[in-house]
């Protein structure tokens, strides 16, 4: 077994996932980075390798809706590294629309934003229960707390993720495993602009704020549990 903790981060090639990866590399985690295209992860890996004391990350290129690929990834991690200490379910997509949303676009958001985190949590929980330790962070959204008129499918997926996260929170607490849903408002990422944010970048939550939130949560004593964190962008409180 390796002498340092292992963290899996999905959607690690940009935005929030990239910031979390860089932060956790400074905390000396052995990182496992997942994104649809492994080529896009290589630039993040290059950044990580430049950080003092960091470990060379393992890179996996697959779509998180591919359950077979998830299973293969988890099996390889546990075989090579012997443990999983942190899971960050960050990969997600946004498609606008409620009544106008196409059926297939609704299903794709549910599969990516809700079903994939469920499969990952389910498989990782098996190992964390045996370890009697671990932390799971589900990057949900402010849209998982408030439904908006043009984001019905996205909100459904994120409301579902918040509820699923709370269920795992209660199930895994007796095993020494913490589960936290992080629900940010507008974050300065490509997805925010794709979703129609009218805020300037400096008016939004920064991806580094999410990474710092996870750093803080990991610093808490074993007896502390934070079920949910809601982070507002200061100029869009509604």
- Residues with a known catalytic role: 154
What is the b/e burial string over 46-59, where b = at least 16 CB atoms within 10 angstroms of the residue's CB?
A: eebeeeeebbebbb
DSSP states of the chain as a string? --SS-EEEEESTTSHHHHHHHHHHHHTTPEEEEEES-HHHHHHHHHHHHTSTT--PPEEEE--TT-HHHHHHHHHHHHHHHS---EEEE--------STTS-HHHHHHHHIIIIIHHHHHHHHHHHHHHHHT-EEEEEE--GGGTS--TT-HHHHHHHHHHHHHHHHHHHHHGGGTEEEEEEEESSBSSHHHHHTT--S-GGGSBPHHHHHHHHHHHHHS-TT----EEEE--TT---
Token code pair at residue 109: 């958001």
**Residue entry with tokens 């499969």:** 119
């Amino acid at each position: 077994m390796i002498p340092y903790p292992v963290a899996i981060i999905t959607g690690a090639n940009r935005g929030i996932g990239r910031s979390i990866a860089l932060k956790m590399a400074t905390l000396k985690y052995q990182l496992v980075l997942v994104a649809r295209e492994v080529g896009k992860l290589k630039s993040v890996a290059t950044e990580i390798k430049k950080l003092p004391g960091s470990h060379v990350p393992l890179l996996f290129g697959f779509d998180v809706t591919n359950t077979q690929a998830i299973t293969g990834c988890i099996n390889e991690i546990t075989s090579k590294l012997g443990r999983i200490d942190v899971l960050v379910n960050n990969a997600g997509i946004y498609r606008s629309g409620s009544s106008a949303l196409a059926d297939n676009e609704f299903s794709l958001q549910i599969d990516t934003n809700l079903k994939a985190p469920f499969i990952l949590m389910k498989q990782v929980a098996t190992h964390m229960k045996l370890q009697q330790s671990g932390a799971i962070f589900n990057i949900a959204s402010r849209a998982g707390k408030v439904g908006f008129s043009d984001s019905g499918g996205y909100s459904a997926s994120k409301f579902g993720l918040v509820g699923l996260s709370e269920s795992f929170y209660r199930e895994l607490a007796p095993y020494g495993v913490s589960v936290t849903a992080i629900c940010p408002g507008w974050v300065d990422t490509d997805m925010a602009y794709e979703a129609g944010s009218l805020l300037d970048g400096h008016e939004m939550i920064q991806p580094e704020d999410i990474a710092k939130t996870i750093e803080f949560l990991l610093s808490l004593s074993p007896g502390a549990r934070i079920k949910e964190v809601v982070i507002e962008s200061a100029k869009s409180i509604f």
